[in-house]
Amino acid sequence: MKTINVKSMIPSREECGCSLPHDKTLREVVIGRGIIDDLPRFLDILNVGKPIAVFYDKITFKVVGEKIVKLVNGLGFDVAEPTFREAEKKTILTEGTQTVIAVGGGTVIDVAKYAAYKHMAPFITIPTALSHDGIVSPIVSLFSESGRKSIVTKAPIFSLIDLDIVSTAPKILFSSGFGDLLAKVVSIKDWQLGRDEAGEEYCYTAEKYTMKALEIILDCLKAGQAKDYGKLAEALIYSGVSMMIVGSSRPASGSEHLFSHYLDMYSPNRAPHGIQCALGTLPTSLYHEMYNPNWWKNPDYSWRQLKKYMEKAEIPLNLRQLGIPIEIAVKALVYSPEIRQERITILHKRRPTEEEALQLLRETQLA
Ligand SMILES: [Zn+2]
Ligand SMILES: [Zn+2]
């Protein structure tokens, strides 16, 4: 079993030299095989209160949710849909809860994170897939009446990643995890645009952990170890930690994530989050290469090389095959900056025309 002692990894604001929160809510993450049975022991060490609300969905209940409810003698709650309305409903239902445990992927984690935040209760995540970096981040991303919205809540205090559990998830979800991490090549450069063009606060500690996440998976993919789920888990944690440090998704979410958000809102078919972010990463990294003099000099981070890494991670990269209309992808590159006008990215700095957007998709062979 690998233990990541997160608390000790984060310097103070003064030591870092930035004015961002440097939150240390997440104390520890454990990653290993068959460690779920140790959960009661970890809860004892964490000294969390009861009653414990355990959130899951129909699928994760069968995978391990039912077992966890028994293990911790908790109350079970079935999450139905990825909306703020559902999160509000579950918050009311779990009134009086002292601890919240999420057993699942994105939706369950986000709904439970929201309820824990409203109750000011310690929050624990037990992922059933390694598909995105929200496992330990403080960000909740759900649908509201006007589309997908992200809000900042609180990170979990603890996360237990049992590799025997996550390895039962569909293969496409691992590819999604790699995609969400490869996207950081763009998101970090978009953040630097904000720093350089608008004097936005920047944190080198957060940058360090985002880059560490990226290096871990690039080493994996270079060595042909796209199935090293322990390494993927670790990388997703480091990316989540960087968001916790700055109290926003800024290090981990740039123009490539806006592209994905746009598809979430307007495409008739959707692919898992990290797959859509990987799709967005190719045209936006090419666009950075064309117009951002501060783009990476490291040839490992060129869009061509990124595409090779994506292929190694078995990320499907053909819009047509994924059922995403080319016109929608074009519009995503042109209009997604409007989703988040205050956050500067390469698409904000130089809005492409529809013609240019189509050219970017053609050159990167997405279309
Ligand atoms: Zn993401
Ligand atoms: Zn800092």
Q: What is the mean pLDDT of residues 15-19?
A: 97
Question: Rounded to the nearest whole angstrom, what is the distance from the C-alpha of residue 204 to the centroid of ligand 2?
Answer: 6
Listed residue (142, 146, 68, 148) closest to 107, CA to CA? 142
Residue 350 pLDDT greater than 90, yes or no: yes
Give per-residue pLDDT as tens, 26-68.
999 999 999 999 999 999 999 999 999 999 999 999 999 999 9
CA of 290 to the centre of ligand 1 (A): 24
- pLDDT, residue 227, reads 87
**Cα 232 to middle of ligand 2, angstroms:** 24
- CB within 5 A of ion ligand 2: which residues? 16, 18, 203, 205
Tell how far the Cα of 51 is from the centroid of ligand 1, in angstroms: 32
Return the percentage of the chain with pLDDT > 90, whole number. 98
Q: Could you give the percent of the chain with pLDDT greater than 70?
A: 100
Contact indicator for 159, 116 with CB cutoff of 8 Å: no
Residue 66 pLDDT:
98
Mean pLDDT, to the nearest integer, of 231-259?
Answer: 98
Predicted local distance difference test score (pLDDT) of residue 148: 85
So what's the pLDDT on residue 55? Answer: 98
The SS3 assignment for 26 reads coil
Residue 251 alpha carbon to ligand 2 centre in Å = 12
DSSP state string for 167-220? TTS-HHHHHHHHHHHHTHHHHHHHHHHHHHHH-----HHHHHHHHHHHHHHHHH
Q: Report yes or no: 59 and 87 within 8 Å, Cβ to Cβ.
A: no
Distance from Cα 29 to the centre of ligand 1, integer Å:
19
- Mean pLDDT over each residue of the chain, to the nearest integer: 97
Compute CA distances 228 → 4, 232, 233, whole Å: 17, 7, 9
End-to-end CA distance of the chain: 43
**Å from CA of 189 to ligand 2 middle:** 17
Cα of 319 vs centre of ligand 1, distance in Å, is: 19
Q: What pLDDT, on the 0 to 100 scale, is given for residue 37?
A: 98
Query: In this structure, which ligand is nearest to the CA of 21?
Result: 2
Does the domain formed by 2-166 have CATH 1.20.120.160?
Answer: no
pLDDT at residue 176, rounded to an integer: 98
* Ramachandran bin of 362, using left for φ above 0, alpha for ψ from -120 to 50, beta for the remaining angles: alpha
Cis peptide leading into residue 40 (ω within 30°):
no
Fold designation for 171-363: Dehydroquinate synthase-like, alpha domain (1.20.1090)
As a whole number, mean pLDDT of residues 74-80 equals 98
pLDDT value, residue 48: 97
pLDDT at 354 over 90: yes
The pLDDT, as a whole number, for residue 322 is 97
Taking residues 68-81, report their average pLDDT.
Answer: 98
Contact 346, 291 (CB under 8 A): yes
Question: How many angstroms separate the alpha carbon of residue 186 from the centre of ligand 2?
Answer: 20
pLDDT of residue 226 exceeding 90, the answer is no
Q: Is 147 a residue whose pLDDT tops 90?
A: no
Fill in the amino acid letter for 158: F
Which helix (H) or strand (E) covers residue 3, if one does?
strand 2-5
Nearest to 136 by CA among 158, 115, 153: 158
* Ligand 1 centroid to residue 75 C-alpha, Å: 30
Q: pLDDT band at residue 242, thresholds of 50, 70 and 90?
A: very high
**Which residues have beta carbons under 5 A from ligand 1 (an ion)?**
180
CB-neighbour burial class of residue 270 (10 A; exposed 0-12, middle 13-18, buried 19+): middle
Distance 22 CA to ligand 2 centre (A): 6
Cα(282) to centroid(ligand 2), Å: 29
Domain boundaries, the chain: 2-166, 171-363
Residue 12 CA: which ligand is closest?
A: 2
Q: So what's the pLDDT on residue 8? A: 95
Distance 76 CA to ligand 1 centre (A): 27
Residues 129 and 339: their CA atoms lie apart, in Å, by 28
User: From the CA of 298, how far away is ligand 1's center (Å)?
Assistant: 23
- 293 burial level (CB within 10 Å; 0-12, 13-18, 19+): exposed
**Region 254-269 average pLDDT:** 97
* pLDDT value, residue 86: 98
